[in-house]
Amino acid sequence: MRTLRTTAGVLAAVIALASCTADEGTRGSATDRPASAGTSPSPSTSSTTSGAAAPESPARPPAKGCYVLGFDAATAPTNDNRPVPCSKRHTAQTYHVGRLDTVVDGHLLAVDSQVAQRQLERTCPRKLAEYVGGSPEARALSRLKAVWFSPTIEQSDQGASWFRCDVVAVARPSTLAPLPPPRGLRGVLDRADALDEVGLCGTAAPGARGFERVICSRRHAWRAISTIGISGGAQYPGVSQVREAGESECRDRVQAATGSPERFSYGWEWPTREQWRAGQRFGYCWAPD
């Protein structure tokens, strides 16, 4: 459930709203991507003809490439799109290219193994924070998301060991927004007005009929104004606890932001069990915009 409340001095009305699904456009656990629990096949023992050149390893992606990707391509484990000039329309930008460590305890792991993929899950979000700047809350409130790609099995067999981290902006469900040139995206969340363009907004109150998450540069009626942390361990505390954990604080924050009027509306959106399992330990506080 999600709660939208309207307050007139003290609480005047309570409206319980249907829950929203997990945030689109973010990567979850390693099981979201193809994984192999074993080692990669043993290399072929056949030899090349004397004097023949060995096949070249597939080239690493450019360190600052720009791409035209759709939502499905951006959330796939591999990508073979050709880069486009960053001065032209594009929906993804590379901000980091690294090297996969696929040897663990002397064993060569498949490029799509969970161990290898966890390297991407740890590295790419951390590198995104360095690239776009801003506070942890600003990044949580933005629609800028990290996506990542590793070589295909065939490329890995040919010696490719790179991985690529791209940033995308989720405009609305399953739709990416065009990005500015790299100079306009680096450190973007350090700007005070950045979330007016790339923040999380909604077409209606969260959970209400017609609600859709949109980037704030699009037409909208509500805005996520802050996040509220929720304490707890690996096990989901339960709906009643996460609902109560931030509701009063959200109400107070919205009242303060609106100048303590006699009547105001606010929405508290707590994390789902799936989001909690993926590591989200906060909820969103919403207000009409």
Span 214-233, pLDDT tens digits: 999 999 999 999 999 999 99
- What's the pLDDT score for residue 105? 63
Q: Residue 127 falls within a domain, yes or no?
A: yes
- Expressed as residue numbers, the domain containing 175 is 2-35+60-288
Q: Residue 192 falls within a domain, yes or no?
A: yes
Q: Residue 69 falls within a domain, yes or no?
A: yes
pLDDT in tens, 64-110: 999 999 999 999 999 999 999 999 999 999 999 999 886 666 666 77
Q: Residue 51 falls within a domain, yes or no?
A: no
Confidence of residue 55 (pLDDT cuts 50, 70, 90): low
Q: Residue 181 falls within a domain, yes or no?
A: yes
DSSP letters spanning the chain = -EEEEEEESEEEEEEEEPPPPPPTT----GGGS---SSBPPPPP---PPTTPPPPPPPPPPPTT-EE---HHHHTSS---PPPB-TTS--SEEEEEEEE---EETTEEBPTTSHHHHHHHHHHHHHHHHHHH-S-HHHHHHBSEEEEEE---HHHHHTT--EEEEEEEEEEETTEEPP---HHHHTTGGGSTTTHHHHBEEESSSTTSTT--EEETTS--SEEEEEEEE----SS---HHHHHHHHHHHHHHHHHHHTTS-SEEEEEEEPPPHHHHHTT--EEEEEEE-
> Residue 202: beta bridge partners?
213, 222
- What's the pLDDT score for residue 260? 74
Per mean pLDDT, which of 90-94, 148-152, 206-210, 228-232 is the most reliable? 90-94
Question: What's the domain count of the chain?
Answer: 1
Confidence of residue 56 (pLDDT cuts 50, 70, 90): low
Phi (first) and psi of residue 184, to 5 degrees: -90, -10
Q: Residue 148 falls within a domain, yes or no?
A: yes
